[in-house]
Amino acid sequence: MNTKFPERSFPVFSPVAEHSVLVEFGDRIDRDIHAQVLRLNRALAAAPFDGFLEAIPAYASILIRFDPLLCDHAMAVGKARQLLDHDLPAVSKPNLHEVLVCYDDALAPDLAAVAKSIGLSCEAVIKAHLAAQYDVFMYGFAPGYAYLAGVPQRLQLPRKPAAMRDVAAGSVLIAGPQCLVSTLTMPTGWWNIGRSSTRILTDDAHKPFLFDVGDRVRFRRISRAEYEAGK
């Protein structure tokens, strides 16, 4: 175990089945690496090539899917390289979203445990969580599960040893540098520090998901009464 890989020189292009190319810009979670993912993501959206179907951005990589009847791996790699070699138009400021969160004891079952294990008060944990600005790095796991990077260093904890069942939709969860607001009732091993009344799955046909990858998020504290009124 723990074999070291030979250094790879990024970007790395790998064929996937008969329909995709995976473009990797690094092998760790890092803002600069993610910025390159966003750059190719934007370039593909602005200038999709013939046969392009969709692009799936992740932390350090982006998958480019194409129609194998119209395109092949070599063509897709060629197009991606061409886009990367060109200067892209200036990036507009990322959208900033405000997500409402209630930290009431009943809706924040792990808040006290988080506070205890890092030696802070619950209020100090809340303050630190609210002070940070988060980046939408990717979606994954389930519909609308947006992985937000930016949890302050002192709030970073490894996930719990065992998953909790039936964690409610809308839970504000943290693990390591990541935060997410769940959209479904699901088991999770992440720390549940609050509940949000903000809907990530918006039910708006024109904008069904609140965030796009690359957007920014800040949390705003609400009372239990505001939560109940807004949910």
Partner 1 sequence: MSEAILSVSFAGPHVSVQDGGRAGLMRYGVPASGPMDRRSFAAANIALGNPADAPGVEVSLGGLALECVSGTVSFAVAGGGFIVEHAGSRRSSWSIATLRAGEKLTIRPGPWGSWCYLAFAGRLQSQQWLGSAATHAISGFGGGRLTAGARLSIADPARHAKREGGIPCPVSARPRQQVRVVLGPQQRFFDAAAISAFLSENWSMTDAWDRMGVRLAGPAIPPQAALDMPSEPIVRGSVQINGDGVATVLLADHQTTGGYPKIATVLDCDLDSFVQLRPRDAVAFRPVSPAEAISLSRTIAMGTSAYLHAIAGKGRDARAET
The binding site for partner 1 (CB under 8 A) comprises: 1-5, 14-20, 22, 24, 27-29, 53-63, 65, 68-69, 72-73, 138-147, 184, 186, 205, 208-209, 213
Q: Which residues of 11-46 are buried (b: 16+ CB within 10 A; e: fewer)?
A: bebeeeeebbbebbbbeebeeebbebbbbbbbbbee
Given the complex with partner 1, which of 65 and 97 has the nearer CB atom? Answer: 65
What is the closest distance, in whole angstroms, from the C-beta atom of residue 221 to partner 1 in the complex? 26
What is the closest distance, in whole angstroms, from the C-beta atom of residue 97 to partner 1 in the complex? 15
Q: Give the residue among 196, 18, 177, 229 at the shortest CA–CA distance from 107.
A: 196
Given the complex with partner 1, which of 16 and 47 has the nearer CB atom? Answer: 16
Q: Where are the alpha helices (DSSP H) in 2-66?
A: 31-46
Given the complex with partner 1, which of 72 and 104 has the nearer CB atom? Answer: 72
What is the closest distance, in whole angstroms, from the C-beta atom of residue 208 to partner 1 in the complex? 6
Alpha-carbon torsion, ordered 196, 201, 206, 207, to 10 deg: 60
Given the complex with partner 1, which of 14 and 223 has the nearer CB atom? Answer: 14
What is the closest distance, in whole angstroms, from the C-beta atom of residue 44 to partner 1 in the complex? 11
Q: Are β-strands 164-167 and 171-175 bridged in parallel, bridged antiparallel, or unpaired? A: unpaired
